[in-house]
Amino acid sequence: MRKATVQTYMPVLSKVIESTEKMGDQLNPLFEKLRQAVDDNAVAQMVPAEFNDIQMEFSDGTEQYQKNLAQLKKAQVPVRLIGRHRNLLAAYETYTNACAAMTASLNVDDQTIDVDTFNQAEKDQEAAMERVSGDVQRIMNVVM
């Protein structure tokens, strides 16, 4: 088996971070619409097709995050980055699970949102993404 190097690890990490940022940019306006509807107690007044589309986009996003997580799990990590990578992996998994929970909080059949789950998922996502960002920064500091 080949020895893991920074040159083999960093492209995987970069691809995952780039994909995560792109998906976040794509989903954030949809999240903001839902957040506003929840805050205004107006989820039931949303256009059903729009609510359904948002749920489908969230599902696609969660699926992409799960693929990213799988890539991180199978990445060949240089020995000096193993601890930091494990921290990153744990934070990214928490983030992915929080995204899945938020998606699951949207009930398309009766156009409702489990507000408690939605709010907790939002908090969990924010906390996990802060950890992901910090872990990536620490990895970069070691590499540079």
CATH number for 135: 1.20.120
Question: What pLDDT, on a 0 to 100 scale, did the predictor assign at position 21?
Answer: 96
- pTM beyond cutoff 0.85: yes
CA distance 29 to 58: 11
**Per-residue pLDDT averaged across 22-28, rounded?**
96
- Would you state the pLDDT for residue 6? 84
Owning domain of residue 13: 6-141
Q: Is residue 127 in a domain? A: yes
Contacts of 33 (CB under 8 A, 6+ apart): 46, 50, 54
* Confidence at 4, pLDDT banded by 50, 70, 90: confident
pLDDT attached to residue 144: 79
Q: What is the mean pLDDT of the chain?
A: 94
Give the three-class secondary structure for 46: coil
pLDDT tens for each residue of 42-101: 999 999 999 999 999 999 999 999 999 999 999 999 999 999 999 999 999 999 999 999
Question: Can you point out the beta strands (E) in 15-135?
Answer: 106-107, 112-113
72 found inside a domain:
yes
More confident position, 78 or 6: 78
What total number of domains does the chain contain? Answer: 1
Spatial CB neighbours of 37, under 8 Å, sequence gap ≥ 6: 43, 45, 46, 113
Q: Which pLDDT does position 2 carry in this prediction?
A: 58
Residue 98: inside a domain, yes or no? yes
Asked if residue 1 is part of any domain, the answer here is: no
